[in-house]
């Protein structure tokens, strides 16, 4: 594997000097033909590493009739089989703790992290020292693109518990790039987070979008002032849909009096590797020297180019990864390409995440993402308070019936107006998303407030409502 570029430490040695730079690392603005050469060189190295160290991929490639030595270019990768989340779970179950796909010696593992487990059992991911540094480096690039700078102070409002990658790795990466992280976490509760914000006045707030909105709404009763007066200039969000939904983004920005920036990643590959620049027109891939990314048409399972307006599922191949390397990993993230060039100079394509492929519902032939429904409901504030849940009380992801949607009425709105509100929402959903909804209006504050756990927009059973 390639030698390490930096020594592990709390802070990268040259972090402070990067404050005035246009980007964190030159790879972000490198011409794509040069990026391709670098990726293909590292791809060949990764294939050689897997050939020597990975029984998991030795068997997988042999079963597919593919040789490691035949993979020399980006196009050659299309001959390789996909790696699915179910395979990773089976691998973890077959060989504890880090799975059959572990490709590094146990003595070289320095850290482990876990996914949130919202789509099943958590994935436990092992990191060598080189792997951990890759994570810090890619996170730093995302943070920097989103307007965070060395010397800033950041209030940590992602969950810190349960090994979740939004916890310790985010704190480590903030420190790596010279940011002082305030490591309270969503688990510490809204009161403590807001009191820290009032005491320390951090420039950055980092958390899940729904929770950052909830924090802002709690500020007047907790610290006696609006969140917009607490000095936050950058709200960094990720971990769930919302940051890319215009109505939710606008609400966050209004509540905090700050700019909202979005990042995207996934535990199996890293923490974050898509980061939004100051143009706020989509998230750039900033880890092109560590990840080869393909865009897949889910219907045909064919690779399609990153062209403006294209939609598909993101597929990742790690290059340079040691402990738990993955090849052609199906992420489940369904995105729309929002551009292939940018005024910021970054050359990685820009995307918005529409939702997760495994969250998508097919209602009378129409593809519907719960996050898209949330966008429509948020647009109808103050008639609603922006909170909704989809009730998918049918087998699988397909239904010929109307989709049940539970929507909280706006605070202070009379139940007498529920019939008109129901009709209005159903019309908006039909006109915007081309599906038939059966809307039930419920009391404001019916559903549990956002906290350390990601907000699940889809329910499979009817909730016990008052």
What is the C-alpha to C-alpha distance for residues 350 and 339, in angstroms, rounded to an integer?
Answer: 5
Residue 22: CATH number of its domain:
3.40.50.12780
- Residues with Cβ < 8 Å from 90, sequence gap 6 or more? none
Residue 274 included in any domain: yes
Count of structural domains, the chain: 2
Q: Let me know whether 173 and 36 are in one domain.
A: yes
pLDDT tens for residues 402-432? 999 999 999 889 999 999 999 999 999 998 8
pLDDT score of 116 more than 70:
no
Q: Let me know whether 36 and 154 are in one domain.
A: yes
Residue 351 included in any domain: no
Residue 465 included in any domain: no
What is the C-alpha to C-alpha distance for residues 348 and 338, in angstroms, rounded to an integer?
Answer: 11
DSSP 428-440: HHHHHH---EEEE
Interval 2-18 mean pLDDT:
72
Residue 24 burial by Cβ neighbours in a 10 Å radius (0-12, 13-18, 19+):
buried
Determine how β-strand 270-276 pairs with β-strand 259-266: antiparallel
Residue 304 included in any domain: no
Q: Let me know whether 75 and 188 are in one domain.
A: yes
What is the C-alpha to C-alpha distance for residues 157 and 109, in angstroms, rounded to an integer?
Answer: 28
pLDDT tens for residues 283-308? 999 999 999 999 999 889 999 999 99
Residue 342 included in any domain: no
Q: Let me know whether 43 and 187 are in one domain.
A: yes
What is the C-alpha to C-alpha distance for residues 226 and 216, in angstroms, rounded to an integer?
Answer: 7
pLDDT attached to residue 2 = 44
Buried (b) or exposed (e) across 130-166, using 16+ Cβ within 10 A?
bbbbbbbbbbbbbbbbbbbbbebbbbbbbbbeebbbb
List the alpha helices (DSSP H) in 234-365. 246-256
With H, G, I as helix, E, B as strand and everything else as coil, classify residue 195: helix
CA 311, 315, 321 angle in degrees (round to 5)?
150
pLDDT score of 118 more than 70:
no
**Which H/E stretch holds residue 389?**
strand 384-391
Q: Let me know whether 272 and 407 are in one domain.
A: no
Residue 300 included in any domain: no
Residue 426: CATH number of its domain:
3.30.300.30
Q: What is the mean pLDDT of the chain?
A: 92
Residue 232 included in any domain: yes
Q: Let me know whether 273 and 387 are in one domain.
A: no
On whether the CB atoms of residues 247 and 210 are closer than 8 A, the answer is no
Residue 309 included in any domain: no
pLDDT score of 1 more than 50:
no
- Residues with Cβ < 8 Å from 62, sequence gap 6 or more? none
Q: Let me know whether 132 and 276 are in one domain.
A: yes
Phi, psi of 431 (to 5 degrees): -70, -35
Q: Which domain holds residue 455?
A: 361-459
**Which H/E stretch holds residue 156?**
strand 153-156
pLDDT attached to residue 117 = 58
pLDDT tens for residues 329-358? 999 999 999 999 999 999 999 999 988 877
- Of 269, 300, 326, the residue that ends a domain is 326
> Would you place residue 6 in the very low, low, confident or very high pLDDT band (cuts 50, 70, 90)?
very low
pLDDT attached to residue 265 = 95
Q: Let me know whether 375 and 238 are in one domain.
A: no
What's the distance, Cα to Cα, between the start and end of the chain in Å? 58
Q: Let me know whether 136 and 26 are in one domain.
A: yes
462 or 441, which is more confident = 441
pLDDT tens for residues 174-231? 999 999 999 999 999 999 999 999 999 999 999 999 899 999 999 999 999 999 999 9
Q: Let me know whether 250 and 134 are in one domain.
A: yes
């Amino acid at each position: 594997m390639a030698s390490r570029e930096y020594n592990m430490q709390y802070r990268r040695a040259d972090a402070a000097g990067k404050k005035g730079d246009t980007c964190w690392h030159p790879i972000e603005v490198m011409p794509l033909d040069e990026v391709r050469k670098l990726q293909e060189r590292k791809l060949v190295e990764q294939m050689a590493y897997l050939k020597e160290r990975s029984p998991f991929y030795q068997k997988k490639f042999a079963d597919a009739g593919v040789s490691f030595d035949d993979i020399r270019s980006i196009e050659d990768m299309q001959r390789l089989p996909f790696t699915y989340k179910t395979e990773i779970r089976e691998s973890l179950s077959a060989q504890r703790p880090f799975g059959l796909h572990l490709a590094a010696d146990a003595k070289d593992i320095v850290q482990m992290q876990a996914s949130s487990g919202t789509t099943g059992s958590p994935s436990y991911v092992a990191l060598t020292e080189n792997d951990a540094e890759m994570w810090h480096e890619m996170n730093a690039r995302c943070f920097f693109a989103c307007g965070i700078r060395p010397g800033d102070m950041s209030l940590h409002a992602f969950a810190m518990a349960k090994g979740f990658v939004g916890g310790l790795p985010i704190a480590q990466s903030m420190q790596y790039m010279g940011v002082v992280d305030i490591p309270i976490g969503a688990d510490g509760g809204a009161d403590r987070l807001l009191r820290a914000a009032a005491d320390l006045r951090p420039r950055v707030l980092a958390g899940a979008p729904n929770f950052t909105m909830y924090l802002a709404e709690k500020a007047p009763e907790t610290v006696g002032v609006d969140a917009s007066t607490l000095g936050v200039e950058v709200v960094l969000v990720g971990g769930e849909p919302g940051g890319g939904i215009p109505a939710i983004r606008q609400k966050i920005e209004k509540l905090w009096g700050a700019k909202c920036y979005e990042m995207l990643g996934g535990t199996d590959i890293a923490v974050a590797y898509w980061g939004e620049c100051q143009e706020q027109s989509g998230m750039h891939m900033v880890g092109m020297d560590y990840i080869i990314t393909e865009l897949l048409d889910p219907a045909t399972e064919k690779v399609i180019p990153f062209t403006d307006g294209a939609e598909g599922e993101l597929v990742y191949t790690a290059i340079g990864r040691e402990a738990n390397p993955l090849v052609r990993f199906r992420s489940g993230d369904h995105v729309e390409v929002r551009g292939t060039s940018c005024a910021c100079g970054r050359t990685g394509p820009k995307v918005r995440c529409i939702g997760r492929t495994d969250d998508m519902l097919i209602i009378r032939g129409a593809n519907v993402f719960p996050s898209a429904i949330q966008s429509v409901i948020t647009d109808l504030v103050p008639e609603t308070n922006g909170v909704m849940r989809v009730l998918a009380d049918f087998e699988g992801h397909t239904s010929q019936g109307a989709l049940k949607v539970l929507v909280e009425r706006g605070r202070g709105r009379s139940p007498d107006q529920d019939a008109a509100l129901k009709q209005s929402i159903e019309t908006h959903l039909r006109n915007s998303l081309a599906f038939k909804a059966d809307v039930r209006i419920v009391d404001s504050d019916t559903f549990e407030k956002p906290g350390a756990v990601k907000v699940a927009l889809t329910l499979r059973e009817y909730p016990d409502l008052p």
